[in-house]
Amino acid sequence: MGDTPTPAAPQALFAFRPVVLFTAVFFPWPSWPAASSRRSSTWASAAPPAEPVSIPYKDTSLPGYLVSPPDATRPLPTLIVNNGSDDPVSSAWTPLGAPAVARGFRALSFDGPGQQSMLFAHGVPFRPDWENVVTPVVDVLLPRPDVDPRRIVLAGISQAGYWVPRALAFEHRIAAAVADPE
């Protein structure tokens, strides 16, 4: 993604207040909806702001957030940020999303099946064939005029570090990938 962050990097790295975003993991079940609501409002008020994205998936949709560099208007490379099994949509922001945005990428984070809101609010469990999760994410990105369709990157950490290679075996519209199973 490059070695030199843009001048906006420090602002982008710390604007998301990770302490607030990570709270949903530690709240007991009755508090999860409130924590989820706070996390969503934090994404929306961040700098740069995150655009909520709804990803059609089976008979429901996966929630996501697309973050772009400030004042970006042209098609840019886009990183699909895939978090691990039990983490909120924000967990991979600091190691993957923020550095990508600081280097001129758009970054899309989302909750997949079995992750946070999809599990707790919708009862949608994990699935081993992660290409069936990544393909709808790519489908949402491709028609966007602000995404360069030839430069879509998939990155996964923790459990997603195992899912990414499987998704790549079937989803051929991804230009590059990073798989870090830690």
Specify if 32 maps to a domain.
Answer: no
Residue 38: the pLDDT is: 57
Contact 106, 67 (CB under 8 A): yes
Specify if 23 maps to a domain.
Answer: no
Q: Which residues are marked as active site?
A: 158
Residue 141, amino acid: L
Specify if 83 maps to a domain.
Answer: yes
Domain of 123, in residue numbers: 69-182
Residue 36: the pLDDT is: 55
Residues 6 or more apart whose CB falls under 8 angstroms from that of 97 comprise 67, 79, 81, 107, 109
CATH number of domain containing 106: 3.40.50.1820
**Splitting the chain (182 residues) into consecutive groups of 10 residues, what average pLDDT does each group show?**
46 38 38 54 67 94 93 94 80 88 95 86 88 97 97 92 93 95 82
Residue 47: the pLDDT is: 62
Specify if 77 maps to a domain.
Answer: yes
Specify if 59 maps to a domain.
Answer: no
The number of distinct structural domains making up the chain is: 1
What tokens appear for 27 in the block? 């709240």
Residue 21: the pLDDT is: 34
**What per-residue string of b and e applies to 110-130 under the rule 16 or more CB within 10 Å gives b?**
bbbbebbbbbbeeebeeeeeb
Q: Could you tell me the pTM of the whole model?
A: 0.77
Residue 79: the pLDDT is: 97
